Structure 1
């Protein structure tokens, strides 16, 4: 899958820009750091620039401070860009415009079915559990040595994007890769503890407020997070990562919708499903978003009540006809 082209891309260029999507998660952070460390090992110059800062829960990774959110000087020299875990260029905000304006070639590595194939080289493996798994495959196929630090970054991406190996994207291959990572020295207990067992009191207080808003229609659960809740709890928006999965864990629920109000009035919508006949990627695509069949999202300027009604209709269409 374009491995020769990727190898040539690495060898041809010297100065790289690495980026990933808004609302960074464990996979986006992990795969970016893994790629940067690997490129630096082969004497490349690397800038990691993201549209939003690294969430606190991932700041245990040694080189997280290498990820900047500052716009580079316009006259900066960059030979090539690597977009990781980015299904659509809208997800990198101003960075795509910056790259295109300077005519910088793009290597697009991703695992989202909704990927728009925007790169000069596109490595999109929808069977992979995560983009971190894609990165592992590329490094191995190209005969690159993977050290413990790279392995920890890749493991972070896999653990988070598989929901600690509980999501349907977890495969036998995923476990084989993790066995290799463990042999390289990755302590999965310590890693999981750093990611999942460090919530703040403010985060738990916010979770309580969010769960108090739950409404269920036809086994589809809706919850919401408002700016008022954030202010009252003292939490940050990043503290809400994973909240939607609490809702999905309710026994008879088949899908969950999480509305998050941004300070500019925009609503970010996370969709999750646990039944085979509900493809939330198709629903998100209808609203100009995307993702995976069991986990997707989109953004909207409509209010939550209006979105709730529209989403119920689209869920019904998906179940009846397989498409919105």
Structure 2
């Protein structure tokens, strides 16, 4: 039986709509964004457990595979990295934690128009890209939170592997229950997970005890390189391809570094700029309170949340740094009611 009374009123309609939609589909391809983080992986796993409980056939897919630091996490099936030679032909795609087709990877983005699709996401920026049903709710701290409510609407208890999948997404996207998006609803959900036997502390420990020496060396180098801009209000650090090579580190080893920059006293915006190719850079932005880094990211073609956003700049690292810092400065000036000059 559905457990809708356990779903906060704000989320109840969306959860019931998506649970009903999942009952009407089969042979489902489940995917999140490329280079998945803990929320994307947790949502992927949660979806698999829900679909299995509903008696549906499903395939888990990620063109870039799972990051090394999440290899320990148990999934309800093999994660396919190619759409060739699948065990069945998908009839529907369940798209999670992603609001833009290109972030699904080229192979899936090209096949998407031929599939019925459902989209569950918590990022600002649109109404969803699902052709059958969408649930995009920026009030959720994580897409895994929404998946928990879908499970309850489908009458499934939040226990065992499903509970751990939800917990993984929540821990990741709330910074271990420390970020500003850690609402009363999140604490209530976590309390239920723990009451039903989810080892939240143990999962957090597993996530933290995965560092390599390459990651340690990389973080040490970047700590030395980080600098303050705008009279200490902006912490900025560029990362070059050569840094990864010399430290024997992976791109995923940067996970969490921009949050460390935000710890500096007086910093309103933390910015990390990662060189992915000679003329391709990815940026990550973090802030506190009402400082809107999503607006900065959107001005540069990216997106995200109020306090966590990012995007891509097709520029050399030096040019990208100038463009990014100028956009951050312009947004802070706007928020301060200034003319655009640094304070």
Q: TM-score scaled to structure 1, two decimals?
A: 0.93
CA contact (8 A) 1:57 1:194 kept: no
Instruction: Give how far 1:92 is off.
Output: 0.9
Q: Where does residue 220 of structure 2 map in the other structure? A: 208
Q: Where does residue 260 of structure 1 map in the other structure? A: 274
Is 2:217 aligned against 1:188? no
Q: Which segments of 5 or more consecutive residues in structure 2 lack a partner in the other structure?
A: 1-12
CA spacing shift, 1:303–1:265, aligned 2, 3 Å: closer
Spell out structure 1 runs of 4+ moving beyond 6 A: none
Measured in 1, the distance between the counterparts of 2:279 and 2:330 equals: 28
CA contact (8 A) 1:87 1:290 kept: no
Measured in 1, the distance between the counterparts of 2:15 and 2:220 equals: 47
CA spacing shift, 1:264–1:311, aligned 2, 3 Å: closer
Q: Where does residue 104 of structure 1 map in the other structure? A: 115
Is 2:237 aligned against 1:226? no
Task: Pick from 267, 284, 296 the counterpart of residue 309 of structure 2.
Answer: 296
Task: Pick from 252, 256, 261 the counterpart of residue 242 of structure 1.
Answer: 256
Instruction: Give how far 1:144 is off.
Output: 2.3
Is 2:322 aligned against 1:309? yes
Instruction: Give how far 1:215 is off.
Output: 2.0
Instruction: Give how far 1:299 is off.
Output: 0.9
Is 2:228 aligned against 1:197? no
After superposition, the C-alpha distances for 1:7-61 in whole angstroms (9 at most, x for unaligned) are: 3322222200000112210000001011111101222111111121101211221
Task: Pick from 77, 80, 101 the counterpart of residue 92 of structure 2.
Answer: 80
Task: Pick from 50, 63, 82 the counterpart of residue 70 of structure 1.
Answer: 82
Aligned-partner SS, 1:271 = strand
Aligned-partner SS, 1:150 = helix
Q: Where does residue 124 of structure 2 map in the other structure? A: 113
Measured in 1, the distance between the counterparts of 2:278 and 2:167 equals: 35
Q: Which moved more, 1:193-202 or 1:2-11?
A: 2-11
Q: Where does residue 287 of structure 2 map in the other structure? A: 273
CA contact (8 A) 1:54 1:64 kept: no
Q: Where does residue 165 of structure 1 map in the other structure? A: 177
Q: TM-score scaled to structure 2, two decimals?
A: 0.88
Instruction: Give how far 1:176 is off.
Output: 0.4
Measured in 2, the distance between the counterparts of 1:216 and 1:64 equals: 44
CA spacing shift, 1:5–1:79, aligned 2, 3 Å: farther
